[in-house]
Amino acid sequence: MEEYMEQYEKESLLAAQREDLQKVMDLLFVKEHHARTILIHYRWNVEKVFMVFVEKGNELYAEAGITVKEHDGQSLFQNSSNVTCDICIEEVSAIETTTMDCGHCYCNNCWTEHFIVKINEGQSRRVRCMAEKCNEVCDEGKVKSLVSARDPVLAEKFDCFLLQSYIDDNKKVKWCPSIPHCGNAIRVEDDQYCEVECACGLQFCFNCSAEAHSPCSCLIWELWHKKCMDESETVNWITVNTKPCPHCHKPVEKNGGCNRVRCICGQAFCWICGCDYAWHGTQGHSCVRYKDDYHAVNTEQARTELLRYIHYHNRFQAHIDSLRAEYKLKGTTRYKISFLDAKKTDSMNFSWLFDGLYRLSRSRRILSYSYPLGYYMFGNGLLKDEMPKNIRIMKQNLFEDQQEQLELIVEQLSMCLELPFHEYPEYKFVETKIKIIDLSGIADKCCKRLYECIGNELLGELHQAVHIIAPYRAYGVERASEIPSESSDENAKLVLCKCSDGCGCSHSTNIGAV
């Protein structure tokens, strides 16, 4: 499925927001602040607003928390010269009062103080009436008019918050999670379970804002990432420096030269072979004799789980390390191309070579991220109750067969791309070229079959949990393209606050759409 991507500056973003507001205003015959409240409630999903209105009619307003009433905006006491404000209990001129759509009328000073407090508290997207038990959203035009008369800077901040809600409250729009923040946002028109690439070059999962992690689901990747952050260094050190006690299976470190070690549980055992024996002597113990049942030692669940995690983590990390090392192939490939160009009088097409490099990195990445999925899919933790043991074993074999086929092709492709084919004679060069082209095509098909296996045979068969992965794209994540602003002013970029405390600081911001 082809995704739609755009990159917006300030004027284009404002136009996109106004377009959505206008659609709702035209359909429901409501004012702009009511349309905004409804869209924020439904996460700026115009189609959903239309569907709810068709199904429930005027119940839509109650669900969004608004009451649509008609008032002329004048004070209820317009025939009186002076009125008493129920908030400050002071007598003021009638022209110094403001009436909201709900009908509540107070003096402009009390309204202004109320609005300033709410804006500073970060509640400016839906400022409620200050009357007791009234949840009506105040007209944002009146809010801005009253606040700007006292604090123009705060009024601009209020405008920024209203515009920022189009990103923060919109299910189809998210900030790029780059650090430091690049100032871009991405909009997805179709499926939120997709991987996107910002104009800054960062690829990330649109659903959870983590790094691109398919074929892992968001939950599985979150659990794996946390586990690796918490345990990977510890596991590496334990693997290298300790051995398990044969009695309690806790890791034991040897701090002396003697190969007779003692666990804190009191069990003594041989550091070389792991067999236990009495601490007072070594009678009947020998490490030099090979025993057929050496690997049949019964271990407890903790030891088994540790070894299982090490198995998956080591393979995950090995392919990540290979992926990083293979980035160097781009440099060596450019050298080979320049060498081949110098040898040939006619220009050559090397698209097959660049396609092979891309297919290698893409396939290697998919392969590495398939190991966290396997760890949680077939373990005794997250999804153990989703299918019977015999079915789980069958699914695991099917999954690992797909993994094995992809791994074989990836290693063969990597080996071919590292060959000094630029030095080969013509016939051998052509053979290598054909092999790289064939392996690139096979790698693509293996990746697609692996995704189909995961989506249909594994995650698609779950009954209790819901795990959705980004669909496989043969040419990877599409990059957001920038749409120039209608304004020629280079400084007319969107200014929004990205800080969690809503400090009102400025950020030069773009928004893209997928």
Q: In Å, how far from its chain's centre is CA 496?
A: 21
Tell me how far apart the alpha carbons of residues 152 and 171 are, in angstroms, rounded to a whole number: 31
Residues in the chain: 514
Q: Which helix (H) or strand (E) holds 60?
A: helix 59-64
Query: Is residue 99 within 8 Å of residue 134, measured between CB atoms?
Result: no
Tell me how far apart the alpha carbons of residues 466 and 459 are, in angstroms, rounded to a whole number: 8
Tell me how far apart the alpha carbons of residues 257 and 268 are, in angstroms, rounded to a whole number: 15
Tell me 455's DSSP state: I
Catalytic sites, residue numbers: 258
Helices and strands, number each (H, E), in the chain: 13, 15
Q: Which helix (H) or strand (E) holds 55?
A: helix 46-56
Tell me how far apart the alpha carbons of residues 262 and 276 are, in angstroms, rounded to a whole number: 10
Tell me how far apart the alpha carbons of residues 97 and 67 are, in angstroms, rounded to a whole number: 21
The CA-atom distances, in angstroms, between 239 and each of 187, 251, 253, 265, 306 are 45, 9, 11, 20, 10
Tell me 486's DSSP state: S
Q: Look up residue 9 and give its two tokens.
A: 């500056």
Tell me how far apart the alpha carbons of residues 409 and 363 are, in angstroms, rounded to a whole number: 9
Tell me how far apart the alpha carbons of residues 467 and 472 are, in angstroms, rounded to a whole number: 15
Tell me how far apart the alpha carbons of residues 200 and 5 are, in angstroms, rounded to a whole number: 14
